[in-house]
Amino acid sequence: MNYNKVILGGRLTRDPELKLSQSGTDICKFGMAINRKRKEPEPDSTTFVDCTAFGKTASIIGKNLTKGEPILIEGRLDFQQWGGQSGKAQTKLEVIVDAFQFIGGRGDAVPRDEPTPSEPSVAPSAVPSTSPITSDDVPF
């Protein structure tokens, strides 16, 4: 059985590079940093991963994300090999992105689900009454 699936959540290490292939397909290359918190006394660590997306996925990532923003990606590992300048073979693992999700939000935006400072945090009708509860108030 062979299975090649990767799910990663982290932050972009650089602004995505959006390009157009000769056939007209969008290609977006970006890097991710994935932090790993460890228990003392071991230090925390960070893994850096190169990613490539194609088509509509590439276009959306390239136009909407910038360095430092969080992203969750799903894809597959791809092994690349080429000849280096010194004649020595170079290799690299890369994630080919199949799907993604924006995570978090923009730091300057107010979340829609939370009230703004001028709004009350509880609607007036939701404030409990101070009158005593009688048997007529109980539904059963």
98: CATH? 2.40.50.140
Structural domain of 16 = 6-105
In a domain, 78, yes or no: yes
In a domain, 81, yes or no: yes
In a domain, 60, yes or no: yes
Number of domains in the chain: 1
pTM of the model: 0.70
pLDDT of the chain along its 140 residues, tens only? 999 999 999 999 999 999 999 999 999 999 999 999 888 888 889 999 999 999 999 999 999 999 999 999 999 999 999 887 888 888 999 999 999 999 976 554 434 344 444 444 444 444 454 555 565 655 54
In a domain, 13, yes or no: yes
- What would the DSSP string read from start to end of the chain? -----EEEEEEESS--EEEE-TTS-EEEEEEEEEEE---TTSPPEEEEEEEEEEHHHHHHHHHH--TT-EEEEEEEEEEEEEE-TTS-EEEEEEEEEEEEEE-S--TTSPPTTSPPTTS-SS-GGGSPP-SPP-TTTS--
In a domain, 117, yes or no: no
In a domain, 123, yes or no: no
In a domain, 114, yes or no: no
